[in-house]
Amino acid sequence: MHLPDSEKNRMKKITISTLNRMKSAGEKIAVITAYDAGFARLCEEAGADVLLVGDSLGMVVQGHESTLPVTVDDMVYHTAMVSRGSERAFIVADMPFMSHGTPRQALDSAGRLMKEGGAHMVKIEGGEPQVETVHHLTRRAVPVCAHLGLLPQSIHQLGGYRVQGREPHEAERILKEACLLEEAGAQMLVLECVPELLAREVTASLSIPVIGIGAGSGCDGQVLVLHDVLGITPGDAPSFSRDFMAEAGNVQGALEAYVASVRDGSFPGPEQSFQ
């Protein structure tokens, strides 16, 4: 059977090269968290490009108040499930709190997430203090996604979940750290809870894909926690999220609506962005 080019492309396995081409072409990258094989399959069928196995599972799956209790064993377990449920999506796994205190520890943790969990890339929170670790990992064939802005693993140090980068010196620091992390070898960046103008500046300044969450529509792509997309987040949902289930009425419809809204740029809108 002869398949059209669009169908062939849809069936191809997504790699970091795919995501780089999407950035260059101005095509939005749809990212969503997944924690098990079943939802990995559903998210992929809905068209998600990247599945992020987030340490957010500590809150939405395990019932903790923060991401801090999540262990490397937890992340390996959930990443392996997502890997088994996925055929084409690019899989990124979070490095949990205190799993990357030194470059050597980071390499051990990342190795487990890739070898045992099947991750294609690991994500590390933090700016300049993580530059050495990112360089150490990427020189040893470990692909890294950096994470700046609001850092959930540093929530006690930050004093709460609040927008980062509103003050000029904070914005300058975030932009500088983004450039340093790219120079160290990071191949993707998640930018969380920063003003939209700052996110646009960071995105334009980097050659790697920048994925926003609460960072406005100017990023190369968007990520949301699965439970936020489905409107089942425990407690109050973040202000930058949107309940797609309320509009779609079923799980698969909600996932497809999220991906479509990222693709056409209608999500996030002004009400899910910060100035």
> Tens digit of pLDDT for each residue in 28-40?
999 999 999 999 9
For residue 112, the Cα-to-chain-centroid distance in whole angstroms is 19
Per-residue pLDDT at 3 exceeds 80: no
Q: Which residue has the higher pLDDT, 151 or 197?
A: 197
Candidates 168, 134, 132, 170; CA nearest to 150 is: 170
The number of helix segments (H) and strand segments (E) in the chain equals: 13, 8
- Looking at the chain, the whole-number percentage of residues with pLDDT higher than 90 is 83
Sign for the pseudo-dihedral over CA of 62, 65, 67, 71 = negative
Per-residue pLDDT at 157 exceeds 80: no
Q: What is the mean pLDDT of the chain?
A: 92
- Structural domains of the chain, with CATH: 5-272 (3.20.20.60)
Tell me the pLDDT band of 158, cut-offs 50, 70 and 90. Answer: low
Average pLDDT over residues 16-36: 98
Spell out the long-range contacts of 231-238 with Cβ–Cβ below 8 A and sequence spacing 24 or more.
Answer: 233/60, 234/59, 234/60, 234/63, 238/161, 238/214
pLDDT score recorded for residue 82: 98
Per-residue pLDDT at 69 exceeds 80: yes
pLDDT score recorded for residue 162: 76
d(CA 80, CA 100): 20
Average pLDDT over residues 127-139: 96
Pairing of strands 90-94, 29-33: unpaired
Active-site residues, by number, are 192
Q: Which residue has the higher pLDDT, 275 or 26?
A: 26
Write out pLDDT tens, residues 103-122: 999 999 999 999 999 999 99
User: What DSSP assignment string belongs to 211-258?
Assistant: EEESS-TTSSEEEE-HHHHTT--SSSPPTT---HHHHHSSHHHHHHHH
Candidates 20, 28, 43, 54; CA nearest to 207 is: 20
Residue pair 61/35 in contact by the 8 Å Cβ criterion: yes
Write out pLDDT tens, residues 228-247: 999 998 777 888 999 999 98
| Phi, then psi, of 113 in degrees rounded to 5 | -65, -35
Tell me the pLDDT band of 156, cut-offs 50, 70 and 90. Answer: low
Tell me the pLDDT band of 153, cut-offs 50, 70 and 90. Answer: confident
Tell me the pLDDT band of 11, cut-offs 50, 70 and 90. Answer: low
Sign for the pseudo-dihedral over CA of 10, 250, 223, 121 = negative
Q: Is 208 helix (H, G, I), strand (E, B) or coil?
A: coil
pLDDT score recorded for residue 274: 87
d(CA 66, CA 71): 12
